[in-house]
Amino acid sequence: MDIVYMGTPDFAVPALKRIYDEGHNIKLVVTQPDRPRDRGKKLQPTPVKALAEKLGIPVSQPDSIKNNDEFLERIDRISPDLIVVVAYGKILPKEILDIPKYGCINIHASILPKYRGPAPIQHAILSGDLETGVTLMFMAEGMDTGDMIDTRATLIDKKTAGDLHDELAILGAGMLVDNLHDIELGNIKRIKQDESMATYAPMVFKKDGLIDFNKSAKEIERHIRAMTPWPGAYTYYNGEQMKIISAHPHESGDREITAGTISYVDSEGIAINTKDGLLMVTEIQMPGKRAMEVSEYLKGNKIEIGTVLG
């Protein structure tokens, strides 16, 4: 099939590589414009652009695809059989949705209709779900509202958002190539989404990493995993930001003590009072330092018992 591929971040890389390896004719890769990244603030290509250039695939990086006649004409000239969209970052207008022979399909990082929107992985962890997954779907004008083609699931367990991101990217790539042949043959059954079950997963911002110790230890542990690696779960210790990399519920605490109070510190970690018990923090990162186990940090630093975090 002749394919136009639209994607931007690391999540979209495995699917591009898989369909290329399967021998499909990728006529064009569309990705977001280069952005300044890292401390040097130099313009850096998106991960999808970097792979496309390595594979010798033409790349387009329009600032906008809405009301962009030049871009629309380019896609129209290519006349792709299929447009594959994976975390491109912008909603496709109807004019583009109507071009491909077999339509536009999308890999979404949840089992729809749960967690439509930009941050499904984080919200699945925050909600305490036992499993999550990926959905392959036909695209419609609404956000993640199109008919489903296939789903694949995985257990969440104690995985971080970063762990699930990488796992789901590979799972989605496999699901995509497994269905491309049937899409071309017209053998795909469209599965309508149950609108009554739909939920929305709003974007996560830097401020969302702030830990609320008035929640339960289990809720805070999920919050830490959901915010790892970005934006990072954090609190404040004596006015300095303390990133918490890993932690787990420990034992019942004293409910008369203010939530966020450091109850004790030992080689296992920092025990912090929450709404319903202690949270044992085992790995932290302080400003100007690398992430390290609490036991290692304590070799050259002190954590004061009785300090209230936040």
CA atoms of 75 and 298, how far apart (whole Å): 58
> CB neighbours (10 Å) of residue 226?
22
For the segment 246-267, the average pLDDT, to the nearest whole number, is 87
Q: What is the pLDDT of residue 40?
A: 66
Indicate the CATH number for domain 2-197.
3.40.50.170
Q: What is the pLDDT of residue 45?
A: 96
Fold of 206-297: Methionyl-tRNA Fmet Formyltransferase; Chain A, domain 2 (3.10.25)
pLDDT of 106-163, one tens digit each? Answer: 999 999 999 999 999 999 999 999 999 999 999 998 899 999 999 999 999 999 999 9
For the segment 84-106, the average pLDDT, to the nearest whole number, is 96
| Token output for 219 | 């809720």
Q: How far is CA 114 from CA 111, 133, 156, in A?
A: 6, 10, 15
The DSSP H or E segment spanning 270 is: strand 269-273
| Token output for 251 | 């034992």
Burial 182-193 (b: 16+ CB within 10 A, else e): ebeeeebeeeeb
Q: What is the pLDDT of residue 253?
A: 60
CA atoms of 92 and 80, how far apart (whole Å): 15
Q: What is the pLDDT of residue 251?
A: 78
Q: What is the pLDDT of residue 256?
A: 75
Mean pLDDT over each residue of the chain, to the nearest integer: 95
Q: Where in the chain is the domain with CATH 3.40.50.170?
A: 2-197
pLDDT of 3-27, one tens digit each? Answer: 999 999 999 999 999 999 999 999 9
Rounded to 5°, the CA angle 104-12-111 comes to: 70
Q: Where in the chain is the domain with CATH 3.10.25.10?
A: 206-297
Does pLDDT of 226 surpass 90? yes
Does pLDDT of 39 surpass 90? no
Whether the Cβ atoms of residue 236 and residue 252 lie closer than 8 Å to each other = no
For tokens 């999920």, name the residue: 222
| Token output for 73 | 């004409």
For the segment 272-276, the average pLDDT, to the nearest whole number, is 94
What is the pTM (predicted TM-score) of this model? 0.94
For tokens 């699917």, name the residue: 15
pLDDT of 181-224, one tens digit each? Answer: 999 999 999 999 999 999 999 999 999 999 999 999 999 999 99
| Token output for 127 | 């909600």
Instruction: Report the SS3 class of residue 74.
Output: helix
